[in-house]
Amino acid sequence: MPGRQLIMSFPVTATSHALSEYRERGGYGALAKTLGQLKPQDVVKEVTASGLQGRGGAAFAVGRKWQVVQYDDGQPHYLIANADEGEPGTFKDRWILENNPHVLLESMLIASYALNVRNCFVYIRGEFDLPYRRLAGAVEEAYAAGLFGRNILGSGFSCDIVVYRGAGAYVAGEASGLLSSLEGKKGYPRNRPPRLTVKGLYQRPTVVNNVESLSNIAWIISNGAEAFKAVGTPKSPGTRLFSVSGHINRPGVYEVELGYPWMKFLDEDCGGVPHGRAIKCVVPGGVSSKVLTGADISNLKLSHEDLWDAGSTLGSGGMIVIAEGTCMVALLQVLMRFYHHESCGQCTPCRHGTGWLHRIVDRIVAGDGRSDDIERLYYISKFNDGTTICGLGDAAGYACSGILDKFRDEFEYCIEHKRSKFGGNLECLRSS
């Protein structure tokens, strides 16, 4: 196991997701402690002190987000767990929803108590089936046990929860797009300002956090901020769930203590690359984070600071391993098709830029590349950076320029020879 475990800390069985077994593991103890001993501001203080960073992609400090909400401003507040999990390569929230749904619910109750939230929501990816059934089952169990509703555990604190299923748009995972969708509108992201913590759902102060970010709260309250900070590195406290896929022998979801050596994780925990192939590159945290080559990552640790130094990020924890022999042009084509398909179409550069990127890469793959195509791909990426309403436009540009930066020669080859240097291959081949 790659270091200590806070969330995946028990053996998964057919019944380990149930309330009874969660209780046996000490579940809802943090809630009892919160309601019995802590004031709301104590909870916010503890979470802030823990240094917990968001696990949805941007690694924004959870406590700092919470502090913006004024407990007593006389308005309704909302809390939303972002379970849309749409980032390609990312399937770690799904593990929590399927196998440990009560840790999310308990954490949301604590957060709601801290933020003066009467109604909280889980916005769950529409395609999720088992995760949805497990979560819905857990909500039912929790209501039956008096953990939601009025006067929870006799404390006077009341809170209700609604599980809302998305309709299949990646952009509805973006926090403000999510709120638009939750309000019953098209999932269009919104311009900031105002920040969502000032005007979010129904124009009220709203906290949107990723499922995994929230799921750490119960542990932090039970064990304290100091204990949490003792896990991981000083700049990256705690653990992260990585969903590992691609050319790897043991794909799956792993909880990794931050600061753990990356190559050790891939070679020992994940069983290395099939057929003994070398790593060509890795998408560290969802395709919106820039790729790093095998050489780039050889001495890196899995921590926010190491990734930032290397010019990328841990993003959403969706790690895709890509072996030698893979065609990066074909890979970029897949990515560009995705962004083109998922652009909500609201803002000019992304609406047209994603399609433009996609068409150019399509043409290069088809053997019709032109000498100015690479320059043009950079141009489109550049003018999507910082010019769009949400991060999708920027991400499409990063994904594109990230791959071009590292593998420009493959694109030049493909344009010049009208065919891929690696036969358009996306599989992990037995032999070259």
Partner 1 sequence: MPEIFINGQAIEARDDQTVMAVAREHGHFIPYFCWHPQLSVVGNCRMCLVEVEGRGLDIACNMPVAKGMKVFTNSEEVQAHRKAMLQFITLNHPVDCGICDKAGECTLQDYHYQYSGQRSLSHDQKVRSTKFYNLSNRILLDNERCILCLRCTRFTHEVSKSMALGVERRGDTSNIRPVEDRPLSEDPYSDNIIDICPVGALLSRQFLHKSRVWFLQPTPSVCPGCARGCTVQLWHRKPEWKLKALDQRQNESIARVTPLDNPAVNGPWICNKGRDLAQVFERVRADEPMLKGRPVTVPAALDEARRLIGAARHAVALVSNWGSNEELETFKDKLGEVFHCFVKEDWQPQPGERLEDDLLIRADKNPNTTRARELFGHAEPGFKDGTDLVLVWGEGFDFARLPSRARIIFLNSYLQPENGHADVFLPVSIQTERHGHYTNFQGTVSAFEPCFEPKPGVLHAEDLIRALAAPARGHP
Ligand X SMILES: Cc1cc2nc3c(=O)[nH]c(=O)nc-3n(C[C@H](O)[C@H](O)[C@H](O)COP(=O)(O)O)c2cc1C
Where does this chain bind ligand X (CB under 6 A)? 54-58, 60, 82, 84-87, 170-171, 173-175, 208-210, 213, 390-392
Of residues 46 through 105, those in contact with partner 1 by CB under 8 A are none
* Under rule CB under 6 A, residue 392 binds ligand SF4: yes
Residues in contact with ligand SF4, total (CB under 6 A)? 14
Minimum CB distance to ligand SF4 smaller for 221 or for 344: 344
Q: How far is the CB of 192 from ligand X (least distance, A)?
A: 11
Minimum CB distance to ligand X smaller for 111 or for 273: 111
Q: Which does 113 bind (CB under 5 to 8 A by kind): ligand SF4, ligand X, partner 1, none?
A: none
Q: Which of 107, 210, 245, 388 binds ligand SF4 (CB under 6 A)?
A: 388
Question: Could you tell me which stretch among 11-19, 148-156, 286-294, 376-384 binds partner 1 (CB under 8 A)?
Answer: 376-384
Q: How far is the CB of 123 from ligand X (least distance, A)?
A: 9
Minimum CB distance to ligand X smaller for 139 or for 179: 179
Contact 171, 343 (CB under 8 A): yes
Minimum CB distance to ligand X smaller for 303 or for 420: 303
* Under rule CB under 6 A, residue 357 binds ligand SF4: no
Q: Which does 221 bind (CB under 5 to 8 A by kind): ligand X, partner 1, ligand SF4, none?
A: none
Q: In whole angstroms, give the CA distance from residue 131 to residue 150.
A: 26
Angle (nearest 5°) at CA 178 between 173 and 182? 140
Token reading at 205: 């102060």
Question: Could you tell me which stretch among 80-88, 93-101, 305-313, 386-394 binds ligand SF4 (CB under 6 A)?
Answer: 386-394
Q: Which does 58 bind (CB under 5 to 8 A by kind): ligand SF4, partner 1, ligand X, none?
A: ligand X
- Residue 158 CB coordination number (10 Å): 13
Minimum CB distance to partner 1 smaller for 131 or for 369: 369
Of residues 159 through 218, those in contact with partner 1 by CB under 8 A are 169, 186, 191, 193
Q: How far is the CB of 386 from ligand SF4 (least distance, A)?
A: 11
Question: Could you tell me which stretch among 14-22, 62-70, 230-238, 375-383 binds partner 1 (CB under 8 A)?
Answer: 375-383
* Under rule CB under 8 A, residue 347 binds partner 1: yes
Minimum CB distance to ligand X smaller for 52 or for 273: 52
Residue type for position 258: L
- Give the pairing of strands 206-210 and 301-302: unpaired
Binding site for partner 1 (CB under 8 A): 169, 186, 191, 193, 340-349, 351-356, 359-360, 363, 370, 376, 379, 382-383, 386-389
Binding site for ligand SF4 (CB under 6 A): 171, 189, 343-347, 350-351, 388-390, 392-393
